[in-house]
Amino acid sequence: MPRVLLVILSLAVGLIAGIAAVTVLSPDEKAAPAPEPQAGGEVVSEAPQETFLTGFNLTAYTPDGYSGAEVAADFTRLKELGSTAVVIVPTWYMSSSNSDTIQPEVQKTPDDAGLQAAIGSARQAGLEVVLKPHVDVLDETFRGDIQPADRAAWFSSYERFIGHYADIAAGSDVSVFSVGTELKSLSTETDSWNTVIDSVRNRFAGELTYAANWDEVFQVQFWDRLDLIGVDAYFPLSQEGEVPTSESLAAAWQPNVDGLEALSEQWGLPILLTEIGYPSQKGATAHPWQVREGDPADQALQAMAYQATFDAFEGRSWLRGILWWSWRADPKSEEKANIEYTPEGKQAEGVFAGASSGS
């Protein structure tokens, strides 16, 4: 190439580079500002903060349980107390512990229209929604003890059940969906659960969890397919007959908190307490999973257990939320609210409000 052409080409390249530099560095360009250095000189960029999910499982066991003005009033009240989220809990049923079929119960299962209306009402109240479908057994066998005669048939039925609610979640403003709850006797069937999770992923784009019982959470091996490790955290915190103190409850929580932190690190996922609760009666911290008819009411113990829980998990960066059991959407007249889980109108309600206002 002749020398003169090389000179012209070099000038042209320089001119283009200069124009590009002016364009990039022009003061009229509205580029995003760079993160500012902190006091120690370190540049820190702010990551978007996820909502800490604090609130209650709002339970209903009648067809119209999630319908009506009363439910909207519940959401308003829960928001006033400091809730950021609510868990909605529709239930289908097995006829017996070895049944292979799960289906809605006409007189018990909340209807879809009411469920969808409740989700909309919760969102209008400013609450995130967790949809956590349950399987119960009509003979009152605990769901964690079921033994279907044909497990393949049961999982096929389960996929229809959970897919039904995944479709509702996808068509509503739901943030988190639980693919199962406390199904301990079946949660070792990892391949079957992977199939269930894949089916739900194809329907619902939000975050997924599984609500494992406190004595089940460490056996589950499909956490890597989910976004959150869900725990129904009914860890016993005292012995039968023991009169617990704030100090003894704090000490009892520590190994459980350490175990959950290790689980979070193992799987690289945050922990969500999908359920935790205490009846307002004597012995509640010894058997938090059970209301006992003969044990007298004890609001103070329930409140102490709430406070111990908040204290135990305070400042844990791996914790996504604490969702309490429970607040009743359709309480029945025969229920003994004075010893049940609900904190409504009890000392524990004040503990929740105080802790949530500071979160």
Domain count within the chain: 1
42 within a domain of the structure (yes/no) = no
Q: Which residues pair with 130 in a beta bridge?
A: 87, 176
What separation in angstroms does the CA of 34 have from each of 30, 37, 43, 227? Answer: 12, 9, 9, 31
**Cα separation of 290 and 302, whole Å?**
13
Query: Which domain range does residue 160 map to?
Result: 53-357
Phi-psi map region of 328: left, alpha, beta (phi>0 left; psi -120 to 50 alpha): beta
Collapsing DSSP states into helix, strand and coil, what is residue 327? strand
**Whole-angstrom Cα distance, residue 184 to residue 219?**
9
Asked if 243 and 286 count as a contact pair (C-beta separation under 8 A), the reply is: no
Which amino acid is located at 316 in the chain? R
Q: Per-residue b/e over 69-102, b at no fewer than 16 CB within 10 Å?
A: eebbebbeebbebbbbbbbbbbbbbbeebebbbb
d(CA 129, CA 176): 7
46: in domain:
no
**Distance separating alpha carbons of residues 326 and 324, to the nearest angstrom:** 6
pLDDT of residue 33: 40
Q: How far apart are CA 347 and CA 302, in angstroms?
A: 8
| Cβ-proximal residues to 22 (8 Å cutoff; 6+ apart), any chain | none
Cβ atoms within 10 Å, residue 266:
11
Does 27 fall in a domain?
A: no
H helices present in 241-332, as ranges: 246-267, 299-313
210: CB partners within 8 A, 6+ apart: 178, 179, 180, 181, 187, 193, 220, 222, 223, 226, 229, 230
Confirm whether 213 is domain-assigned.
yes
* Residue keyed to tokens 């609610």: 165
Q: Could you tell me which of 186, 193, 189, 190 has the C-alpha nearest to residue 208?
A: 193
Cα separations in angstroms, 25 against 11, 19, 22, 224? 21, 10, 5, 45
Give pLDDT, residue 283.
98
CATH number at residue 114: 3.20.20.80
What is the pLDDT, as a whole number, of residue 49? Answer: 61
Residue-wise burial string across 127-161, b where 16 or more C-beta atoms lie within 10 A, e elsewhere: bbbbbbbbbbbeeebebbebebeeeeebbebbbeb
Rounded to the nearest 10 degrees, the angle between the axes of helix 151-170 and helix 112-124 is 50
Mean pLDDT, consecutive 10-residue segments, the chain of 359 residues? 38 38 35 40 46 98 94 98 98 98 98 98 98 98 98 98 98 98 98 98 98 98 98 98 98 98 98 98 98 97 98 98 97 93 98 88
- CA dist 278 and 286 (Å) reads 10
Q: Please identify which residue in the block is written with the tokens 């022009």.
A: 26
CB atoms inside a 10 Å sphere around CB 66? 29
Q: What is the pLDDT of residue 357?
A: 85
Q: Is residue 340 a part of any domain in this protein? A: yes
| Residue 132, domain member (yes or no) | yes
Distance CA 242, CA 274 (A): 27
User: Count of CB atoms within 10 A of residue 265's CB?
Assistant: 10
pLDDT at 14: 43
Residue 20 within any structural domain of the chain: no
The verdict on residue 44 lying in a domain is no
